[in-house]
Amino acid sequence: MVFMTTRARTVVLVVALALAASQLTLAVVLAKPAQAQAQTFTDTDQEPVSGYTSSCTNDELVFIEGTLLTVAHTTIDANGVYHTKFQSNLQGQGEGLSSGDKYVYNYVTNYQQNYSLGMNENYTVTQTETFKITRQGSDTTTDDLQVKALFHVTVNAQGEVTADVANFEIVCT
């Protein structure tokens, strides 16, 4: 049996604690940093909608009823940048208020946005929209209305708008 004085036990304890602390420090320094994981969220929504639009036939009002399906998808990457995409699709049918003509309606929106919640960050948003209203039973497409839209904005880290695009086209085909 080994007998130690109180002072010797204290020295051994301090040396053991110092050795343990140095091993812990070495383990922390040599360990690879954990990579932040991307987070992803997806939501889907479907709802009935109704409203008025115009046709190419004497600007007749058409009452449309249909279903709007929207899918929203957001990914937050390892750097904290949000990448959000929405897609909406509305399909419906309608009737001209004065003529009683039947119409089919299709509307698609794609929206993409990249941003960070921090200050002095880049920001981009792009949105495209197309919709078409088609008169049923017509021998010609001149009654059909088609609309296309493109919107895009880019803002740099200094808050300056470096791109600003807005194109809008309405065609009676």
Provide the percentage of residues in the chain whose pLDDT is more than 90.
Answer: 44
- For residue 83, pLDDT over 60 is answered with yes
- pLDDT tens digits along 30-69: 444 445 678 999 999 999 999 998 888 777 889 999 999 9
Alpha helices in 31-85 (DSSP H): none
Question: How many helical (H) and strand (E) elements, i.e. helices and strands, does the chain have?
Answer: 1, 7
> Whole-angstrom Cα distance, residue 80 to residue 84?
13
Average pLDDT over residues 143-171: 90
- For residue 141, pLDDT over 90 is answered with no
* DSSP assignment letter at 118: S
- For residue 26, pLDDT over 90 is answered with no
For residue 71, name the pLDDT band (cuts at 50, 70, 90). very high
What pLDDT is stored for residue 162 in this prediction? 93
